[in-house]
């Protein structure tokens, strides 16, 4: 089995200069846990919901919110994204992708072509759903 058979093709993306406020809104309105950051149509980074939680002041939206807390919403995707990209190709064997998840301790694999154009995303949840069907 190959990655392309399990990957999610409908991928949420943001641009490098999109604000944390926009990213937070996307996470609140979609079920995804990862947003792919693209520039000129090519993958340049990944923002996870955990990255957002680390970058966002815990006081935003509370009665304790201060100006500096609200300012965290102005951070940009390029300031919080992971740049050390680990990707897969659509033809990558699923077994190899699973090995990458375990060895690298990551939760998603953006799926790209040779030019780093996004073709989809594979998450450990996708793999678990498939494994559950085998039981």
Q: Kindly tell me if the per-residue pLDDT of 91 is higher than 90.
A: yes
Q: Do 73 and 56 meet the contact criterion of CB atoms below 8 Å apart?
A: yes
Q: What is the number of structural domains in the chain?
A: 1
Please give the structure tokens belonging to residue 134.
């085998």
Sequence-ordered strand ranges (E) for the chain: 13-15, 34-39, 42-48, 108-112, 118-123
DSSP secondary-structure letter at 7? S
Mean pLDDT of the region 116-121 = 97
Identify the band that residue 134 occupies on the pLDDT scale cut at 50, 70 and 90: low
Taking the whole predicted model, whether its pTM rises above 0.95 is answered as no
Tens digit of pLDDT for each residue in 49-86?
999 989 887 777 777 767 877 788 899 999 999 999 99
CATH number of 54's domain? 3.10.580.10
> Structural domain of residue 128, as residue ranges?
3-134
């Amino acid at each position: 089995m190959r990655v392309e058979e399990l990957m999610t093709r409908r991928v949420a993306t943001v641009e490098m200069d999109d604000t944390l406020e926009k990213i937070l809104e996307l996470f609140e309105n979609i079920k995804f846990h990862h947003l792919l950051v693209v520039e000129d149509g090519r993958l340049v980074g990944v923002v996870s919901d955990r990255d957002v939680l680390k970058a966002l002041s815990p006081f935003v939206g509370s009665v304790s919110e201060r100006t500096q807390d609200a300012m965290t919403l102005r951070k940009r995707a390029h300031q919080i994204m992971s740049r050390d990209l680990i990707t897969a190709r659509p033809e990558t064997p699923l077994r190899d992708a699973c090995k990458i998840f375990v060895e690298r301790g990551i939760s998603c694999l953006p799926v790209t072509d040779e030019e780093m154009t996004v073709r989809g995303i594979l998450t450990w949840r996708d793999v678990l759903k498939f494994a559950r069907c085998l039981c």
